[in-house]
Structure 1
């Protein structure tokens, strides 16, 4: 969504509202102080009336105006920067609502006090209780709408059952704040504003990566702040409406007030015991007078203790509500992994967020035990040995035997390059029809690759570290469950991975990423994986940039070449590039490289972002051609794996353009794949090196490379290689069977993967999926869970 310079025309109107609010607030504060001074019993006569009024100013009156001032200031800043995309008149209602709510809020203390003074103690309590219940109910609803409205055009169409779930979550949260802060409406007002902030944050995350906020995102919030720094976040009329709803919620919260239980009516005459009655026993520690129950009772008679207890009870209720019921099985909440925003927009933010929270651990496969898992792995290793191993009589076995013998002698350096957002968007009808044919070298110019094809990912538009994890560890995200970021969640000290394998062979291991070392917690993860050295942005001072100030691919590859040229010790070099990272609205592409494709059916802003991305991808294509040319000149054996981590977010509008009649899995399959190739500067034994084509999941790339060049591989890797006969491609969104048919995973598939014994009569692909679930839990899940 693009902003417009015309949004600055709203600034005088907003500024006028700000000035009016400040003047009215100051005027009321002085008036309120004057009335308090006049009513003061002290009868003070010193000083002018204004001074006496100022001495009686209530700071809380000023504090209650701050939310409204903040809302207006936020709107003013965004409009002044040209970052508001709403039409003329779109701010009228939000501004009027904000000013009206501010006006209603200013006298709330005086109005509440006046009402109580006109009622008796008992009547005041019951009227106040009813008012608090009604105000809390309305405030919760306004807060819920402020959460949904900024990003969810369908918020009014959410099914009632999901509205109820979200309402209860917000209500219990607000009750917790209300009681723990001693029944102060200010605590609820803070809750309303937090819902607004969360809603706007969800809107910005949607702009950034076309996805919903997940529990894992909270663990990676530092990375999100870092990589989103270059993005321009515009706001829409929907965001402005949410500000108005939040203002209404704050106004309701202002009138929430502490209540005092009516005093018990005492008897007018003391009751005297008959003369013949037995003397009353004095209570002791064992009776009710001084026992624990009596102590608790006396404590609960104190309002502060009673409110705190209710707050803790509400907190416990909230914890129980988000942990005990299964949001999938009990409440019917379902997630669409290839289009999480669709699920969230139809069911609400909190139901989907909690559903993902409940699935934060790696699901244990049905009936799993270590002995059975090792038995399954043994079976798959046996299948590998018969078809693919050095003792197999097949062509693959013969090639593997030759490659193993060669690897022991040559010990080639291995370079893995994960290229940011690199993909071939000519797969989309509208882009291809506009004349774009894809990255020239990678698509048609590379004729001597070991292997090449499409690489299938579990992410789109963001989440780079997940493709990196799959490639280095060989574990498909399908077996971990959706919306997880392994790098930010788990300890990798004991996790099998490529750098650890090559280090065990005596290789030096290096990681390169020309950005902050802390992104996705890479600094910690790389150390735990066993990398000897991590070259981050501090090692690229003065390096060439290409797009949005990011270090270019050529400069990144030059760092690899420097390492390759400085010695002959075999190395494992893992590289994550940065050049093609979004945003793609910067206009920073060199003029000579600018492209101008205009796919029909897309907006001008979508086409602008598309062309900026395609310019980046074209330069990446040229850079990798140059790099392979330089590696080809070296006097040492080097094998290279190159792949894209995910498609860029600008591809999203074109994913459905012209595919309106296709199924969701067909659309998703096209979105969730990039391009890869394996190449070597030496003749790899057993390989023709004629750019053989095979599509692979990203999780199989590292295993396949090591297999092709003859490197030693683990039992898990052998099982993974063997599994591809029945299950050639797999990702979070679904799988491809041996016949080439795609099948979508349902939400139920994430609850618990069936055991091999349960899938014996299922398709070969589903049976293999359950077998690999056991193997992956054995070799990864059981280690980190």
Structure 2
């Protein structure tokens, strides 16, 4: 690359030629005023910037092409820049009617010329939209030419509306549209590098993390290929053509104000109509776009950048609850926190003192698809559930866990646990990991970091799944170990085994004896359950409620659960011998999809809400390898929901609680459990979230969540 740095002199020569053209123009048009000459020179600025940019990038050794190709690129930029300066002269030579007799002429276009200017302007706007649609995808999307026509049309129309707005905002000149073309070209190039190095697309939430993106970009080798340079050449051509755009309304000096007002009104009308449509239309529901939640890059490739980005952007809308005020929400949080503090006993004080002395490492294991389906009347065959977990006699706390997802949506269970917020106030189809920048949201990793803990997230799969690479960084994890950190690890069923992740946790503990918070999201039990992994050591159940196909799938699922249970047993028994204090929280993220068929077959005719909540239930256990002061560790039970699980964990071990966590726990006296399906009152009855007579405490939770989430994202 060192020798190529000398190629930077080639675009410098192009700049010198462009300067000479400006001098020549100045002499040829000596009768023009200084202002008119400067306007002509300004037309060459975009092309001069392109030459300077290529020069600098070559000087840094960041362009992978030879001198011949660079000379061709330089020639195009120089030629277009020079022609831009002589645009008026060129137009008069070729006798193109555009409404200007010469550059800088004080004469205004005639009415007929103005009418003829409308059609070319529309064509140029359409050209800019089509180019920008291509520029956003062409460098990185290997499925670009397979995108359905409807998605492509949606993207082009969206860009055309943006350019129509910029056209009027720029008073009918090419300035606004040209800036838009340059912007989308840059976005297309940035997307190329993001996909190249992160295997993830640009998400709407990234808008709030531009500073972080700029900071980390220095760690990547941003080398421009020939394809990137070709895109810059195409951009230059479009920018040159846009200079032939002419205001369709005459702008004599005496009528400047009315024309400016008309164009501004048109810009407001276009912008207002576009925003109104965007805020009311459901792109996913009406036009079939995917919400790009599981693997966003896949959706971006199949439906192109613009429709995917806009669909995700629609999910970023969070509205404050009716009557909400910041002061009111803060007072509500203070009141609930005070209630919590008022009922604390001496045991809590002793636990807090112990925590400061012991400072245990905390390991939170969210086990993929793990649940105890013995709660479904033993599945009709006397199934007893996971053997070890159900016999763990010295757990600090166990119980059922009400989650907000079923069969999928793992990231939402993570979100609820790590932030203490509930999907009940967001909706079942909302995905915060892919939608929000969580950098300002309270979280367990940030809370533990504030206590001096090292924080690590573990997930043995692609870091880009559910945008975890971005979400974990936003939540405050110091480190994220993904599939690249499990090379050669044991696999079972759908991925790296639970046992392999526990080995990684033990490795972290051996390497660092300081307090740690480790979040381990396992993978092995992921559906489906048609692989044939059925253990010969377990009973082969014949379930009377369902057919043989589901029999096989459920037997395979129960094998996965038992394998997880065995790995957990080995892990906890290893921790018993460890000479350092450790707390383990184990819980399942959701039930498998097949559980719904069993639920329907075994519990027909019951009320809809109770029926639904059964399949939105998993299990959890909190265990420590030391005696927690104030806790007899005789497996006390308390049914929780995922949003309160983190706060309850902190309470059990005596760690400091935030006011939000205190308020969340205090509300449980009235609403013990809440999830995306409904909530349970103190009387034990499930209630509909959307019912008009819902308990005031649910409204309080919504206010508290908007204070701690909605107002910060």
TM-score (norm 2): 0.58
Partner of 2:710: 781
* 1:378 and 2:334 are equivalent in the alignment: yes
Whether the aligned pair in 2 keeps the contact of 1:173 and 1:314 (CA below 8 Å) is no
Match of 2:468 in 1: 522
Conserved 8 A contact 2:535-2:559 = no
Report the 3-state secondary structure (helix = DSSP H, G, I; strand = E; otherwise coil) of the residue aligned with 2:584.
Answer: strand
Counterpart residue number, 1:368? 324
Tell me the residue number matched to 2:415: 469
Q: 1:578 to 1:655 in 2, by over 3 A?
A: same
Conservation of the 8 A alpha-carbon contact between 2:403 and 2:641: yes
Which of the numbers 342, 360, 364 marks the counterpart of 1:412? Answer: 360
Q: How far 1:518 moved relative to its partner?
A: 1.3
Change (3 A) 1:411 1:592: same
Question: Which residue of the partner structure matches residue 605 of structure 1?
Answer: 549
Contact 1:362–1:481 (CA under 8 A) maintained in structure 2: no
Q: Measure, in 1, the Cα distance between the counterparts of 2:360 and 2:632.
A: 18
Tell me the CA shift for residue 481 of structure 1.
Answer: 3.0
Query: Which residue of 532, 540, 544 maps to 1:596?
Result: 540
Offset from partner CA, 1:417-456 (integer Å, 9 cap, x none): 0000000112224x5222322111112x111111000010
Question: Which residue matches 2:584?
Answer: 640
Q: Give the 5 Å matches for 1:550-589.
A: 550-587=495-532, 589=533
Task: Give the CA RMSD over aligned residues.
Answer: 3.6
1:320 shift after superposition: 5.6
Separation in 2, partners of 1:524, 1:285: 50
* 1:621 paired to 2:550: no
CA contact (8 A) 2:370 2:588 kept: yes
Q: Which of the residues 654, 659, 663 maps onto 1:719?
A: 663
Following TM superposition, the consecutive aligned residue runs of length 4 or more in structure 1 with deviations greater than 6 angstroms are: 172-177, 284-287, 313-319, 354-359
Unaligned runs of 5+ in 1: 1-168, 181-215, 221-283, 294-312, 332-353, 389-396, 750-761
Cα offset, 1:611, TM superposition: 1.4
Q: Which residue of 2 aligns with 1:438?
A: 385
What residue in structure 2 maps to residue 65 of structure 1?
none
Deviation at 1:565, TM superposition (A): 2.3
Task: Specify the alignment match of 2:351 in structure 1.
Answer: 403
Q: Could you say what secondary structure the match of 2:519 adopts?
A: strand
**Per-residue deviation, residues 55-91 of structure 1 (Å, max 9, x unmatched):** xxxxxxxxxxxxxxxxxxxxxxxxxxxxxxxxxxxxx
From the superposition, tell whether residues 688 and 322 of structure 1 become closer, same or farther in structure 2 (CA, over 3 Å).
same
Q: Aligned-pair distance for 1:496?
A: 1.0
Partner Cα separation in structure 2 for residue 678 and residue 493 of structure 1: 28
Mapped partners of 2:407, 2:546: distance in 1 = 18
Equivalent in 500, 504, 511 of residue 457 of structure 2: 511
The CA deviation at 1:416 is 0.4
SS in structure 2 at match of 1:690:
coil
The alpha carbon displacement at 1:479 in A equals 2.1
Partner residue in 2 for 1:771: 700
SS in 2 for 1:579: coil
Deviation at 1:658, TM superposition (A): 2.6
1:349-385 Cα offsets, whole Å, 9 max, x none, are xxxxx99997752231111111111111111011111
Aligned CA distance change for structure 1 residues 406 and 604 (closer, same or farther; 3 Å): same
**Kept in 1: contact 2:461–2:482 (CA 8 A):** yes
Question: Does the C-alpha gap of structure 1 residues 504 and 357 become closer, same or farther in structure 2, counting only changes over 3 Å?
Answer: closer
Paired with 1:472 and 1:633, the residues of 2 have a C-alpha distance of 28
1:286 Cα shift?
A: 9.7
Contact 2:438–2:471 under 8 Å retained in 1: yes
Structure 2 unmatched ranges of 5 or more: 1-149, 162-200, 206-248, 259-268, 287-309
Correspondence for 1:459: 405
- Which runs of structure 2 are paired with 1:731-746 in the superposition (5 Å)? 731-746=675-690
d(CA) in 2 for partners of 1:742, 1:774? 21
Counterpart CA distance in 2 for 1:557 and 1:428 is 29
Equivalent in the alignment of 1:94: none
1:327-366 deviation line (CA, Å, top 9, x unaligned): 9xxx9xxxxxxxxxxxxxxxxxxxxxx9999775223111
Secondary structure of 1:699's partner? Answer: helix
Residues 412, 316 of structure 1: CA spacing in aligned structure 2 closer, same or farther, 3 A cutoff? closer
**Separation in structure 2 between the aligned mates of residue 357 and residue 655 of structure 1, nearest angstrom:** 36
Alpha-carbon distance, 1:627 to partner:
0.7
Distance 2:564 2:590 in 1: 14
**Which residue is 2:616 aligned to?**
672
Structure 1 residues 780 and 540, CA gap change in structure 2 (3 angstroms): same
Secondary structure of the 1:657 match is: helix
Distance 2:436 2:508 in 1: 30
- Cα distance 1:318–1:663, how it changes in 2: closer, same or farther (>3 A)? farther
Aligned length: 445
Q: Cα distance, 1:664 vs. partner? A: 1.0
Paired residues of 2:405 and 2:428 also in contact (CA < 8 A):
no
- TM-score of the two chains, using structure 1 as the length reference: 0.52
Q: Which residue of 2 aligns with 1:140?
A: none
